[in-house]
Amino acid sequence: MASVTLGRVPCPIQCGHTAAQVKLKTDKGEEKTAYPYVHCAGCGLQMHTRNKSQGEYLLAITRTEGAPKAAEAPPSDERTPVDTSAPPVPKKQPVGLSGWLLGGSA
């Protein structure tokens, strides 16, 4: 089953996956029309469009892959130093059983 990825959309059933793939089959027969479909890797959903208007709507809400963002600046040749020091880790205060029962934080 060969297909090409056209772009990404949020999962149609809102499983939380924001990059479900919009694909188009490339191995359909000559007399058959291929319409785009959605495949969500998060929940395994595959939702197929059945006609031209459904396919056009899906393509209208699809964001293309690899398109440059408008606010993205071109990379500069200057190298910036990278801070390799680890941030300080806060110490947890031990809370006894009585503190937990009386509403203390764990």
| Best CA proximity match to 12, nearest among 43, 55, 53 | 43
- The answer to whether residue 96 sits within a structural domain is no
Residue 42 pLDDT > 50: yes
Question: How far, in Å, CA of 39 to CA of 43, rounded?
Answer: 9
Residue 91 pLDDT > 80: no
Q: What is this structure's pTM?
A: 0.57
- Mean pLDDT value of segment 68-90: 59
- The answer to whether residue 26 sits within a structural domain is yes
Provide the residue range defining the domain that includes 8.
Answer: 3-60
- The answer to whether residue 106 sits within a structural domain is no
- The answer to whether residue 17 sits within a structural domain is yes
- The answer to whether residue 21 sits within a structural domain is yes
Residue 103 pLDDT > 70: no
pLDDT of residue 69: 47
Query: 70 pLDDT band (50/70/90 cuts)?
Result: very low
Phi and psi, residue 39, nearest 5° = -125, 120
- The answer to whether residue 74 sits within a structural domain is no
pLDDT of residue 11: 92
Number of domains the chain is built from: 1
- The answer to whether residue 16 sits within a structural domain is yes
- The answer to whether residue 55 sits within a structural domain is yes
